[in-house]
Amino acid sequence: MMNSNKMTINLALFGMTQSGKSSAGNILLGSTDFHSSFAPCSVTKDCSLGRSCHLHSFMRRGGQEVTLQVQVLDTPGYPHSRLSKKHVRQEVREALAHHFGQEGLHLALLVQRADVPLCTQEESSPVQMIQELLGHAWMNYTAILFTHAEKIEEAGFNEDEYLHEASDTLLTLLNSIQGRYIFQYRKGNSLSEQRLKILERIIEFVKENCYQVLTFK
């Protein structure tokens, strides 16, 4: 949604349990809206929408400064340690329709730990749920957000080397979504710097889509 000087970007987070979805959502929002903690089970049980404060003069479009607001939908881990796959899919389906039914979704972020290989997809994977809920256009509205990216440096890789050594499953997925990915580091840069870098990358993806959205009924 956008007028001449204000833009709202709608995002949805998908991923496995303990992938860092809620933490990533908090970075995107610049807040602590979503409960995030280490646990031996799934933490997020319900879908929740968070809204950021307005980021004034975040970008320029048509020669004018644009104020940005971000809306992020956090979703339960999939598969979930306590909820059935059917329940999670229905919960997310209803949340997408409720929050983004008319305004539309700009981007689905598949949150994937950089230190956990993405293996052959199964029916219970978050990718399968994205495909089911977003429909045939899912490839145009999906990007991967790699969390715990500092583990790459600790292992002696840079980002290009990491992707070169990645599994065939991950490389195939990246090719399907036109190479849209973001690395999120938990150390080094401040949270505000991390946030700005990630949001700038997301805006690049949204621009490539000509600011189009995916709507839900």
Q: What is the pLDDT of residue 14?
A: 97
Q: What is the pLDDT of residues 179-204, one digit of tens each?
A: 999 999 976 667 788 899 999 999 99
Question: Do the beta carbons of residue 9 and residue 106 sit within 8 Å?
Answer: yes
Fold type of domain 6-209: Rossmann fold (3.40.50)
Closest by Cα among 131, 124, 132 to 173: 131
Question: Do the beta carbons of residue 145 and residue 97 sit within 8 Å?
Answer: no
CA 38 remoteness from chain centre = 19
**What DSSP state is assigned to residue 97?**
H
Q: What is the pLDDT of residue 10?
A: 98
Question: Do the beta carbons of residue 8 and residue 67 sit within 8 Å?
Answer: no
Question: Do the beta carbons of residue 83 and residue 44 sit within 8 Å?
Answer: no
Q: What is the pLDDT of residue 121?
A: 66
pTM score over 0.95: no
Q: What is the pLDDT of residues 63-106, one digit of tens each?
A: 889 999 999 999 998 877 787 889 999 999 999 999 999 999 99
- Phi and psi of 9, rounded to 5°? -105, 125
Closest by Cα among 46, 55, 66, 3 to 28: 55
User: How far is 102 from 178, CA to CA, in rounded Å?
Assistant: 26
User: How far is 160 from 70, CA to CA, in rounded Å?
Assistant: 29
